[in-house]
Amino acid sequence: MSTLPKISVITVVFNAVELLEQTIKSIICQSYANLEYIVIDGSSTDGTVEIIKKYDKAITHWISEKDTGIYDAMNKGLKMASGDYVIFINAGDMLYACDTLAKIPFAAHPEADVFYGETVIISDKTGEDLGLRKKVPPRNLSWKHYQKGMVVCHQSIFIKKSITTNYNTSYRLSADVEWVILALKKAQKVVYVDCIISRFLSGGASRKMQKLSLKERFSVMRKYFGLIPTVFSHIGFIFDTLAVKLKLRPLYRKNYFKPE
């Protein structure tokens, strides 16, 4: 039996036939020995299920059934997961390289509750790497850092299954912020990994429905940090957005990691 912890990688998908295969390939190529892969499809009608069936032998568990939204689907994935740690890599996103999981020091820190690292953004139009995510992950991450927003990308954080909660399905776009906050509040040891963990596809639902995303994020942050700190944080977000639009700040950071 492997002494490495089991990692549950969960992919949620709905009508993403053009995106799913790249996600699946990035996961089933992993050199890490103790991995389970779960795919939750929301009863797609565009050929997505055929892609899943194509890789059926490499996928540990998959279902295709209707859900009430992305967080309902993610809760199904959590319920199905049997791993020590879970990570969500949804359709269109990818693990950075085939040795990504092997680089995470699970064996060196068996007591850790959370591992996290960097994210590179990829173009939803060309697929090219645009650079590292603008927010710099804190080296000593705690739940209080989330007063500044989603400081670590949801696709670049491994959380011990035992400290996770279900996603709040009353949110459409921002339940992941609360999910990570709640896990970090329980975490005793959090480990930063100095590598890129995921490729995150630009132009996702939060970008397309930005007003709703901001409204929900404000609600989450107010709940955990209070009204006044949340107002000041969002004033900062506005100035940061303006700085990017005026080209006073870059939209992405330079990728200082060696090309894979």
Among 1-15, 33-47, 70-84, 220-234, the minimum mean pLDDT is found in 1-15
According to the model, what pLDDT value does residue 178 have?
A: 97
Instruction: Name the average pLDDT for the chain.
Output: 93
CB-side exposure of 186: number of CA atoms within 13 Å? 14
Average pLDDT rounded to a whole number, residues 137-157: 96
According to the model, what pLDDT value does residue 189 have?
A: 98
Among 7-21, 80-94, 204-218, the minimum mean pLDDT is found in 204-218
With beta carbons less than 8 A apart as the criterion, state whether 54 and 67 touch: no
Average pLDDT rounded to a whole number, residues 83-104: 97
pTM of the model: 0.93
Token pair recorded at residue 186: 């329980």
Question: Which CATH number among 3.90.550.10, 3.40.50.150, 2.60.120.260, 3.40.470.10 corresponds to the domain 7-245?
Answer: 3.90.550.10
According to the model, what pLDDT value does residue 207 have?
A: 56
User: Percentage of the chain with pLDDT > 90?
Assistant: 84
* Residue 169: exposure state from Cβ atoms within 10 A (0-12, 13-18, ≥19): middle
With beta carbons less than 8 A apart as the criterion, state whether 215 and 209 touch: no
pLDDT band for 205, please (50, 70, 90 cuts).
low
Token pair recorded at residue 247: 């080209």
- Is 62's pLDDT higher than 90? yes
Average pLDDT rounded to a whole number, residues 38-45: 97
pLDDT band for 214, please (50, 70, 90 cuts).
confident
- Is 117's pLDDT higher than 80? yes
Report the distance separating Cα 37 and Cα 12, nearest Å.
11
pLDDT band for 3, please (50, 70, 90 cuts).
confident
According to the model, what pLDDT value does residue 208 have?
A: 58
- Is 206's pLDDT higher than 70? no
